[in-house]
């Protein structure tokens, strides 16, 4: 099978998502350089074209007219031997510098990771690295850092600002603030905000922050960081608060997604409607050897709008325009769910589905859905709400018969008001599952059912009868190209219909 047919939802690769971005082949990690440019949105990602492992990082490039369908463009950045990015073009952003598309990224070399710059003169297609790279020679003198990389760049009235991710020895994660008149000469100011790795409430923020992302949202400012500690990628934390005197005073801190390392290194941008839209890297949960054999690794989340809850918590919601991916609709009739057994929803079956359901737990009871279930129950993934614990969980204990896969359970806090039903919005896409509940919490993860018949959907109740109030589901189309566009050459074209 050629790479071209293998790349987009090939039925021969049951783990390859069809409506989430994955690499053509090889490795994908962080989303980078997200930018609205005219009518289009450009998205880049950390990419190793040579294999499904993290090495020789390039920037791969995609473009979209609608944030739903994507077309691949040539690789944008590749490491240059004997240069500041000889070992890789690590994460960064794209900005509009008076009409010139400009990328600021972390060049990796024996000297560490340092800020580098590249510009495009042909509408973001090809990129020229700045001869004066690196634009910052290294970490600020006098700071004892655990690590230092990644960028967030924005413009203020008196010039550019940049954050770099870092960790302070003996302290915690830090977002280091710089300023510049021209994106090429940078002056270090101080940390915009830094954490304390010894503090565990309301959420532990580790020893180093990767991929800082800072922007206004509603009446506050938000800082999103990816928590890193001792070479482990943990989860994403969003802080909202007041930005004054070039410093952030957070008032609220919480995980952005409770799938932890499976929603990591997110980056956001402002689209032409003024929405703040974020993509995250959905890290794999299968073995490195399995990724090498499969030939690809990593997916990006669906685009989500960031919103602020009244209490300052930063929430994510899938974009409404994703409805364009819906194909066949099924409606499941409302029914009572007797406790202690599964209620099969025979109308529903599939490994690429969107499901919107309303469920009501019984008094002192639990309610949920099991998806990707095998006929004999040997594989299934459960989404379970326990009102007593006020917890929503994504239970992967039996997601796969392959015991090399990560089968830990994710748990998110979720409190429903009196009489408020559990409203689940699920996106199943082969090895990807994204769960949104009651416009409050998200749990995103990776699952690897090994059986071709692990496609059933069932509902269940525990301890007391519960109710399935409503359920709508759709089979889904591929994101690869808009079939109406005659110029699309790499569309998947719903071949499996």
466-476 and 335-337: which strand pairing?
antiparallel
Selected catalytic residue, list 10, 13, 30, 485: 30
Q: Give the three-state DSSP class for 18.
A: coil
- Minimum distance between the CB of residue 264 and ligand DQQ, rounded to whole angstroms? 6
Contact string (CB under 6 A) for ligand DQQ, positions 369-408, x = contact:
----------------------------------------
- Minimum distance between the CB of residue 150 and ligand DQQ, rounded to whole angstroms? 5
What does the DSSP assignment read for 144-198? -EEEEEEEEEEEETTEEEEEEEEEETTS-EEEEEEEESSSSS-EEEEEEEE--TT
Question: Interface residues for ligand DQQ in 200-219 (CB under 6 A)?
Answer: 210-211
Among this protein's residues, is 30 annotated catalytic? yes
Q: Any residues with CB less than 8 A from the CB of 82 and at least 6 apart, and which?
A: none
**Of 91, 120, 399, 400, the one binding ligand DQQ by CB under 6 A:** 91
Distance CA 348, CA 344 (A): 9
Contact string (CB under 6 A) for ligand DQQ, positions 225-244, x = contact:
-x------------------
Contact string (CB under 6 A) for ligand DQQ, positions 54-83, x = contact:
---x--------------------------
Bridge partners (DSSP) listed for residue 168: 145
Token pair listed for 215: 């922007």
Torsion angles phi and psi, residue 290, rounded to 5:
-65, -40
Instruction: Kindly tell me which of 186 and 235 has the beta carbon lying closer to ligand DQQ.
Output: 235
- Minimum distance between the CB of residue 296 and ligand DQQ, rounded to whole angstroms? 16
Instruction: Kindly tell me which of 152 and 265 has the beta carbon lying closer to ligand DQQ.
Output: 265
- Minimum distance between the CB of residue 300 and ligand DQQ, rounded to whole angstroms? 12
Instruction: Kindly tell me which of 88 and 241 has the beta carbon lying closer to ligand DQQ.
Output: 88
- Minimum distance between the CB of residue 204 and ligand DQQ, rounded to whole angstroms? 18
Q: Is the omega angle on the peptide bond into residue 134 within 30 degrees of 0, that is, cis?
A: yes
Residue 316 found at the interface with ligand DQQ (CB under 6 A) = no
Residue 46 found at the interface with ligand DQQ (CB under 6 A) = yes
Residue 25 found at the interface with ligand DQQ (CB under 6 A) = no
How far CA 368 is from CA of 109, 159, 357, 371, in Å, comes to: 49, 51, 10, 10
Distance CA 223, CA 210 (A): 12
- Minimum distance between the CB of residue 108 and ligand DQQ, rounded to whole angstroms? 7
Residue in this structure with the two tokens 């503090």, named with its chain if needed = 199
Count Cβ atoms below 10 Å from residue 358 Cβ, excluding itself.
17
Question: Interface residues for ligand DQQ in 141-170 (CB under 6 A)?
Answer: 149-150
Of 2, 68, 89, the C-alpha closest to 304 is 68
Instruction: Kindly tell me which of 283 and 478 has the beta carbon lying closer to ligand DQQ.
Output: 283
Distance CA 468, CA 448 (A): 27
Instruction: Kindly tell me which of 29 and 102 has the beta carbon lying closer to ligand DQQ.
Output: 29
Q: Which residues are catalytic?
A: 30
Q: Which residues bind ligand DQQ (CB under 6 A)?
A: 29-30, 46, 57, 90-91, 106, 149-150, 210-211, 226, 264-265
């Amino acid at each position: 099978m050629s790479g071209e047919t293998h790349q987009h939802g090939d039925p021969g690769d049951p783990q390859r998502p069809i409506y989430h971005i994955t690499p053509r082949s090889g490795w994908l990690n962080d989303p980078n350089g997200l930018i609205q440019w005219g009518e289009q949105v450009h998205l880049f990602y950390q990419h190793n074209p040579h294999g499904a492992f993290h090495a020789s990082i390039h920037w791969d490039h995609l473009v979209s007219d609608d944030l739903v369908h994507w077309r691949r463009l040539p690789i944008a950045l590749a490491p240059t031997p004997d240069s500041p990015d000889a070992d890789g073009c690590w994460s960064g952003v794209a900005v509009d510098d008076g009409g010139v598309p400009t990328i600021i990224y972390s060049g990796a070399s024996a000297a560490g990771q340092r800020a580098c710059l590249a510009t495009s003169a042909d509408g973001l297609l090809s990129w020229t690295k700045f001869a004066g790279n690196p634009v910052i020679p290294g970490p600020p003198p006098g700071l004892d850092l655990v690590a230092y990389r990644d960028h967030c760049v924005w413009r203020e009235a008196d010039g550019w600002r940049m954050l770099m991710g870092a960790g302070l020895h003996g302290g915690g994660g830090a977002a280091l603030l710089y300023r510049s008149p021209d994106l090429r000469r940078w002056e270090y100011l101080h940390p915009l905000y830094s954490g304390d790795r010894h503090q565990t409430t309301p959420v532990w923020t580790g020893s180093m922050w990767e991929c800082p992302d800072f922007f206004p949202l509603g009446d506050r400012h938000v800082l999103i960081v990816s928590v890193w500690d001792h070479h482990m990628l943990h989860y994403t934390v969003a802080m909202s608060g007041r930005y004054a005197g070039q410093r952030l005073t957070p008032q609220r801190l919480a995980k952005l997604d409770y799938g932890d390392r499976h929603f990591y290194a997110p980056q956001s941008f402002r689209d032409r409607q003024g929405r703040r839209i974020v993509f995250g890297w959905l890290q794999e949960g299968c073995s490195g050897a399995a990724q090498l054999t499969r030939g690809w690794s990593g997916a990006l989340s669906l685009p989500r709008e960031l919103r602020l809850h009244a209490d300052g918590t930063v929430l994510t919601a899938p974009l409404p325009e994703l409805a364009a991916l819906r194909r066949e609709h099924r409606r499941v009739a409302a029914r009572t769910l007797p406790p202690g057994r599964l209620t099969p929803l025979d109308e529903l079956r599939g490994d690429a589905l969107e499901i919107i359901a309303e469920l009501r737990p019984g008094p002192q009871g639990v309610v949920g859905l099991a998806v990707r279930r095998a006929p004999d129950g040997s594989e299934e993934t459960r989404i379970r709400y326990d009102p007593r614990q006020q917890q929503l969980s994504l239970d992967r204990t039996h997601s796969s018969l392959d015991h090399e896969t990560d089968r830990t359970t994710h748990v998110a806090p979720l409190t429903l008001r009196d009489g408020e039903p559990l409203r689940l919005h699920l996106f199943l896409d082969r090895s990807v599952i994204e769960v949104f509940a009651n416009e409050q919490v998200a749990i995103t993860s990776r699952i690897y059912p090994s059986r071709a018949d692990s496609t059933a959907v069932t509902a269940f109740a525990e301890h007391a009868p519960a109710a399935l109030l409503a359920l709508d589901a759709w089979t889904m189309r591929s994101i690869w190209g808009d079939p109406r566009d005659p110029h699309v050459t790499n569309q998947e074209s719903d071949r499996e219909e």
